[in-house]
Chain A
Amino acid sequence: EAGVAQSPRYKIIEKRQSVAFWCNPISGHATLYWYQQILGQGPKLLIQFQNNGVVDDSQLPKDRFSAERLKGVDSTLKIQPAKLEDSAVYLCASRLVRGAGELFFGEGSRLTVL
Protein backbone atom coordinates (compact mmCIF):
# COMPACT_ATOMS: atom_id res chain seq x y z
CA GLU A 1 0.00 0.00 0.00
CA ALA A 2 1.37 3.38 -0.99
CA GLY A 3 2.00 5.84 1.81
CA VAL A 4 1.44 9.57 2.01
CA ALA A 5 3.24 11.28 -0.88
CA GLN A 6 4.63 14.80 -0.63
CA SER A 7 6.54 17.08 -2.96
CA PRO A 8 8.88 18.80 -3.24
CA ARG A 9 11.17 17.27 -0.59
CA TYR A 10 13.26 20.42 -0.38
CA LYS A 11 12.70 24.05 -1.29
CA ILE A 12 14.85 27.12 -0.80
CA ILE A 13 13.34 30.56 -1.41
CA GLU A 14 13.99 34.14 -0.45
CA LYS A 15 11.74 35.97 1.95
CA ARG A 16 8.64 37.49 0.41
CA GLN A 17 8.59 34.83 -2.32
CA SER A 18 5.82 32.25 -2.53
CA VAL A 19 5.94 28.47 -2.31
CA ALA A 20 3.48 25.60 -2.67
CA PHE A 21 3.58 22.08 -1.28
CA TRP A 22 1.57 19.14 -2.55
CA CYS A 23 0.27 16.10 -0.72
CA ASN A 24 -1.45 12.92 -1.83
CA PRO A 25 -2.82 10.96 1.15
CA ILE A 26 -3.18 7.21 1.49
CA SER A 27 -5.96 6.00 -0.79
CA GLY A 28 -9.33 6.09 0.92
CA HIS A 29 -8.24 8.29 3.81
CA ALA A 30 -10.91 10.92 4.36
CA THR A 31 -8.99 13.08 6.80
CA LEU A 32 -5.90 15.03 5.80
CA TYR A 33 -3.69 17.19 8.00
CA TRP A 34 -0.90 19.67 7.41
CA TYR A 35 1.63 20.12 10.20
CA GLN A 36 4.55 22.49 10.61
CA GLN A 37 7.62 21.13 12.37
CA ILE A 38 10.28 23.60 13.40
CA LEU A 39 13.72 22.18 14.17
CA GLY A 40 13.84 20.62 17.62
CA GLN A 41 10.08 20.64 18.14
CA GLY A 42 7.14 18.33 17.67
CA PRO A 43 4.71 18.76 14.76
CA LYS A 44 2.22 21.59 15.15
CA LEU A 45 -1.14 21.36 13.40
CA LEU A 46 -1.86 23.95 10.72
CA ILE A 47 -5.08 22.66 9.17
CA GLN A 48 -7.31 19.58 9.09
CA PHE A 49 -9.55 18.57 6.18
CA GLN A 50 -12.39 16.08 6.19
CA ASN A 51 -12.89 15.14 2.53
CA ASN A 52 -12.86 18.55 0.81
CA GLY A 53 -14.05 20.56 3.81
CA VAL A 54 -11.97 22.35 6.46
CA VAL A 55 -12.51 20.97 9.96
CA ASP A 56 -9.98 23.07 11.84
CA ASP A 57 -7.79 25.91 10.58
CA SER A 58 -7.57 27.81 13.85
CA GLN A 59 -3.76 27.64 13.91
CA LEU A 60 -3.19 28.52 10.27
CA PRO A 61 -1.68 32.01 9.78
CA LYS A 62 -4.28 32.99 7.25
CA ASP A 63 -2.63 36.24 6.27
CA ARG A 64 0.06 34.26 4.46
CA PHE A 65 -0.87 30.57 4.51
CA SER A 66 -3.63 28.94 2.50
CA ALA A 67 -4.57 25.34 1.82
CA GLU A 68 -7.11 23.53 -0.29
CA ARG A 69 -8.31 20.02 -0.96
CA LEU A 70 -10.71 20.68 -3.79
CA LYS A 71 -11.65 17.15 -4.82
CA GLY A 72 -11.25 15.58 -1.41
CA VAL A 73 -8.10 13.69 -2.34
CA ASP A 74 -4.81 15.55 -2.77
CA SER A 75 -4.08 18.86 -1.14
CA THR A 76 -1.92 21.95 -1.64
CA LEU A 77 -0.46 24.20 1.05
CA LYS A 78 0.71 27.64 -0.07
CA ILE A 79 2.74 30.31 1.67
CA GLN A 80 2.73 33.82 0.25
CA PRO A 81 4.72 35.87 1.10
CA ALA A 82 7.21 33.73 3.02
CA LYS A 83 8.98 34.96 6.13
CA LEU A 84 12.25 33.79 7.65
CA GLU A 85 10.36 32.12 10.51
CA ASP A 86 8.50 29.91 8.04
CA SER A 87 11.64 27.82 7.64
CA ALA A 88 10.49 24.39 8.78
CA VAL A 89 9.44 20.96 7.62
CA TYR A 90 5.86 20.81 6.37
CA LEU A 91 4.37 17.42 7.06
CA CYS A 92 1.24 16.02 5.52
CA ALA A 93 -0.61 13.23 7.30
CA SER A 94 -3.75 11.24 6.68
CA ARG A 95 -6.19 9.16 8.65
CA LEU A 96 -8.86 6.74 7.45
CA VAL A 97 -11.49 8.08 9.80
CA ARG A 98 -11.63 11.47 11.45
CA GLY A 99 -10.89 11.27 15.14
CA ALA A 100 -10.07 7.60 15.23
CA GLY A 101 -7.31 5.23 14.33
CA GLU A 102 -3.76 5.64 13.19
CA LEU A 103 -2.27 8.79 11.67
CA PHE A 104 0.28 8.29 8.91
CA PHE A 105 2.82 10.90 7.82
CA GLY A 106 4.57 11.65 4.58
CA GLU A 107 8.31 12.30 4.43
CA GLY A 108 7.82 16.04 4.63
CA SER A 109 8.81 19.09 2.61
CA ARG A 110 11.74 21.01 4.05
CA LEU A 111 11.49 24.76 3.46
CA THR A 112 14.39 27.15 3.91
CA VAL A 113 13.62 30.85 3.68
CA LEU A 114 16.68 33.09 3.16
Chain B
Amino acid sequence: QVQMKETGPGLVQTTQTLSVTCTVSGFSLTSYGVHWVRQAPGKGLEWMGIIWGDGSTNYNSALKSRLSISRDTSKSQVFLTMNSLQTDDTAVYYCAEQYFDFWGPGTMVTVSS
Protein backbone atom coordinates (compact mmCIF):
# COMPACT_ATOMS: atom_id res chain seq x y z
CA GLN B 1 0.00 0.00 0.00
CA VAL B 2 1.54 3.24 -1.16
CA GLN B 3 1.58 6.16 1.23
CA MET B 4 3.18 9.56 0.90
CA LYS B 5 3.35 12.35 3.43
CA GLU B 6 4.84 15.81 3.31
CA THR B 7 6.38 17.53 6.30
CA GLY B 8 7.17 21.22 6.23
CA PRO B 9 7.96 24.14 8.54
CA GLY B 10 4.55 25.82 8.36
CA LEU B 11 5.92 29.37 8.42
CA VAL B 12 9.03 30.74 6.70
CA GLN B 13 10.37 34.28 6.49
CA THR B 14 10.86 36.03 3.19
CA THR B 15 14.33 35.63 1.62
CA GLN B 16 14.85 32.44 3.63
CA THR B 17 15.11 28.86 2.35
CA LEU B 18 12.26 26.37 2.39
CA SER B 19 12.82 22.70 3.14
CA VAL B 20 10.02 20.16 2.77
CA THR B 21 10.33 16.41 3.19
CA CYS B 22 8.25 13.73 1.50
CA THR B 23 8.31 10.36 3.23
CA VAL B 24 7.09 7.44 1.16
CA SER B 25 6.20 3.83 1.79
CA GLY B 26 5.02 1.02 -0.43
CA PHE B 27 7.48 1.64 -3.25
CA SER B 28 11.19 2.13 -3.80
CA LEU B 29 12.63 5.53 -4.68
CA THR B 30 15.17 3.77 -6.89
CA SER B 31 12.34 2.35 -9.01
CA TYR B 32 9.91 5.28 -9.21
CA GLY B 33 10.24 9.01 -9.39
CA VAL B 34 8.61 11.56 -7.12
CA HIS B 35 7.11 14.86 -8.24
CA TRP B 36 6.61 18.06 -6.31
CA VAL B 37 3.50 20.11 -7.04
CA ARG B 38 2.30 23.24 -5.28
CA GLN B 39 -0.95 25.17 -5.05
CA ALA B 40 -1.17 28.77 -3.93
CA PRO B 41 -4.33 29.76 -2.04
CA GLY B 42 -7.28 29.89 -4.44
CA LYS B 43 -5.05 29.00 -7.40
CA GLY B 44 -4.40 25.98 -9.57
CA LEU B 45 -1.79 23.24 -9.45
CA GLU B 46 1.79 24.06 -10.44
CA TRP B 47 4.28 21.33 -11.28
CA MET B 48 7.63 22.06 -9.67
CA GLY B 49 9.91 19.18 -10.54
CA ILE B 50 10.71 15.49 -10.32
CA ILE B 51 13.48 13.29 -9.06
CA TRP B 52 13.63 10.10 -11.08
CA GLY B 53 14.45 6.60 -9.91
CA ASP B 54 18.01 6.99 -11.15
CA GLY B 55 18.42 10.19 -9.14
CA SER B 56 18.29 12.61 -12.06
CA THR B 57 15.98 15.62 -11.93
CA ASN B 58 13.78 17.84 -14.08
CA TYR B 59 12.58 21.24 -12.94
CA ASN B 60 9.98 23.80 -13.85
CA SER B 61 11.94 26.38 -15.80
CA ALA B 62 10.34 29.22 -13.83
CA LEU B 63 11.67 27.81 -10.54
CA LYS B 64 14.86 26.14 -11.68
CA SER B 65 17.24 28.79 -10.39
CA ARG B 66 15.85 28.51 -6.83
CA LEU B 67 14.83 24.88 -6.61
CA SER B 68 16.61 21.66 -5.71
CA ILE B 69 15.16 18.17 -5.28
CA SER B 70 17.19 15.43 -3.61
CA ARG B 71 16.58 12.19 -1.76
CA ASP B 72 17.76 9.73 0.85
CA THR B 73 16.84 6.30 -0.45
CA SER B 74 17.77 4.59 2.83
CA LYS B 75 15.10 6.63 4.60
CA SER B 76 12.60 6.64 1.69
CA GLN B 77 12.61 10.40 1.78
CA VAL B 78 12.61 13.06 -0.92
CA PHE B 79 13.57 16.64 -0.16
CA LEU B 80 12.46 19.90 -1.74
CA THR B 81 14.67 22.91 -1.12
CA MET B 82 13.85 26.34 -2.48
CA ASN B 83 15.70 29.53 -1.68
CA SER B 84 14.99 33.28 -1.85
CA LEU B 85 11.38 32.81 -0.79
CA GLN B 86 8.79 35.48 -1.44
CA THR B 87 5.22 35.84 -0.25
CA ASP B 88 3.90 34.39 -3.50
CA ASP B 89 5.61 31.10 -2.61
CA THR B 90 2.89 30.67 0.01
CA ALA B 91 1.18 27.44 -1.00
CA VAL B 92 0.28 23.87 -0.20
CA TYR B 93 3.19 21.69 -1.27
CA TYR B 94 2.40 18.17 -2.47
CA CYS B 95 4.57 15.22 -3.40
CA ALA B 96 3.25 12.64 -5.83
CA GLU B 97 4.44 9.32 -7.19
CA GLN B 98 5.90 9.24 -10.71
CA TYR B 99 2.63 8.40 -12.46
CA PHE B 100 0.57 10.67 -10.22
CA ASP B 101 -1.33 7.60 -8.99
CA PHE B 102 -0.64 8.57 -5.40
CA TRP B 103 -0.38 11.94 -3.74
CA GLY B 104 0.40 13.07 -0.26
CA PRO B 105 -2.14 15.18 1.66
CA GLY B 106 0.04 18.27 1.21
CA THR B 107 1.65 20.62 3.69
CA MET B 108 0.78 24.31 3.94
CA VAL B 109 3.72 26.71 3.87
CA THR B 110 3.21 30.39 4.59
CA VAL B 111 5.93 32.86 3.64
CA SER B 112 5.77 36.03 5.69
CA SER B 113 7.89 39.08 6.17
Q: Do A and B bind each other?
A: no
